[in-house]
Structure 1
Amino acid sequence: MSVGLADLGIICTLGDDKSSVLATVISPTSRPQTCLSFDQQLSLSERNYWVGKVRQPLPMIVERQFNTRNNQLIRHAFEQIQKNFERISQHVDPQRIAVIMGTSTSGIDSGEAAREKLLEGGQFPNDFYYSQQELNAPAEYIAHLAGAKGVRFGISTACSSSGKALLSAKALIEADFADVVLCGGVDSLCKMTVNGFSALDSTAHEFCQPFAAERDGINIAEGAALFIMTRESGAVNLLGGGASSDAYHVSAPEPSGTGAIAAMEQALQQANLSASEIDYVNAHGTGTLKNDAMESTALATLFGACVPVSSTKALTGHTLGAAGAIEAGICWLLLSEHNPHQRLPVHFGQIDPTCDHIMFSQGNAQNKLQYCLSNSFAFGGNNVALVLGN
């Protein structure tokens, strides 16, 4: 069963709405250095980092218990779709409106700031609530804004979190637990993730270069994407999804791509499509040595060199728990009326010869752009693949 993705709200380094995000991602003049920024405040060592920080002003939140940057980001996304949500849900019982959000940081940045105040003055600030850090906090906040009274929860499976949120939302509708689901993902920059990935030697020294010979890691980033999912078919639909778990290693992917292939095959089967019918793949493409080697092998196994592939993390940075939803959102935009010339993103960097057995997108217009596949792979071999289509 496919489900409709009636609307999308999105904010990341590419822009703060649908049109600006799409314009940047398909522009032949976009470059990582125009989207990423140098940050000296997040480092706990002498090293500084290039990160994907949202520069646009964010909405204020008056309720102190909800006042985190994470919630500001997801509120910005919600405000873009609020009118459509109100129209779609006006005759829907609030008990039949669900909220599922993926995140890996939630409000940890607020916890970091509160801890600094504790060390300085011996007590937490009055406006700090421990609940701000809970992984279900974004889902609770969206439910509060939307008046949703149905199932609501957060998913945190690292970089596949919001891909899993979309799969779970689809399952709720299929099981008749909800008629409308607000689903997506959000993550905000914080010291824990930037320095944690640096400790794993996974952060790039300059810009992320997915599938490039000189790739050396990721650029941590922030952003949010929020969909209105309904049981009615729309202009863009979630046709299928697949998930697998390698349990191969706590942080390294299974080298042959067995789990990634299984997730993609499940997604294709659920969408009732063959690999040759996919018109574009948005790769997980982190820019780390092991992920890109594994993913290029998995993609070559399924698609050969016949389907255009790119990793938009070269422009967005890696938004961790929000990545699955943001990259599904990019696919949604490519398939939507906002992209009348059916252009694809440009893939950046000189391709590593060990990864050149797949075809990389060069931003050209397509004769047919009807089906997109989006990959999200996480620590522990937690893999998700989504198929979106018209």
Structure 2
Amino acid sequence: MRFGANYTPTQGWFHHWLDFDLDAVRADLDSIAGLGLDHIRVFPLWPLFQPNRTLIRPRAVEQLVQLADAAAERGLDVTVDGLQGHLSSFDFLPAWTQTWHRRNIFTDPDVLAGQEEYLRTLAAALADRPHFLGMTLGNEINQFSDGPHPDPDRITGAQAAAWLERMLAACERGAPGRTHLHAEYDVTWYRDGHPFTPAQAARLGAVTAVHSWVFNGTAQRHGPTGIATEHHAEYLIELTKAWAVDPHRSVWLQEVGAPAPHIPADRAAHFTEATITNALDCPDLWGVTWWCSHDVARSLADFPELEYGLGLLGNDRTVKPAGRAIAALAKEWRGREHRPAVRSTALVVDAGGSEDAPRRSVCAPGGPVFEAWTELTAQDVRPTFVLAELASDDAHLTSRGITEVCTPEEAHQA
């Protein structure tokens, strides 16, 4: 079982690439390693690394490798997100995709070629490092394809799939055999008509990634200590399995945090412990990567208020209560086999078809699937999910150890 953190530099946040200070990075990494974590997720800023479509800055790539090597010296494995993309409410897109050069970042042939070469270059630069885990295409880049983004690059589901397959192949060419994946925010699972689909998330790439944020309506509806709130990450992990072809496909809880005021500061440690403990009850969980390592400095302006205090450590690198909670869990699980019991009861998900899932909002907070799962969880049932079209497929159910199937309506009646 892996425990890690999304690395948010204390010096300049992700703008630290502009004034890269390896000593400051090393101090940050010392504080992360001090929690007993084993990996970090790292975020280059795309416009800084590839400011022109045919210019990938060698110095920037070298600094990324220096950061990765510094992490390895402290026993931390590294996974790298390529296309940033979107971070903490800010968009980072290169000028050659915007305004006078406006081109669809998912379909324009020149943009695609530039993205391919960029991802391949980053992967290749780290390919000989044994502590390099692999590439994630970008952080929640699906938000650029649809509302509520104020200026989306609209695409179809087929175009999203083609983009994902092409970019994953570029990462594989750069660093063959590593864990390359893609990661979207939860509209993939919850928003009808969104072009990035649950099937893509659960079938493309080496593992399935989920980002669990309870400010999506869960905490507002169920409160900071509600079952749905403290089990939301677990819910998303299990929901992915309805669409997976491999019954034992690994799922990575790649982002999860305790956002105030939805989770009050004095409840953050409890929420951290509860969320991770519940997630660990999911079979085939690869690991947990908390958002984020360090708080954002208050000297930086215009972040949403909740973004400033999400760190396991303060901006001064002091350990916060949530950091102590995850450190205790990491220590408890170090070297311990992760083998939770099979989840034998499956809740039926009728999203209108497995490929496009046109009615996937049934899974969103407040939807019948979400609320039925919450009710069953309150009864200690430990439910998983099965698509409606597979609910009578004995071979599929047997492969997953499912012995009982119920609909949301039946769950409510129970």
TM range (shorter): 0.3 to 0.5
Larger radius of gyration: 2
Q: TM-score, normalised by structure 2?
A: 0.31
Greater share of strand: 1
TM-score norm. by structure 1 comes to 0.32
More helix by share: 2
Q: Which has the higher contact order (CA 8 A, sep 6+)?
A: 1
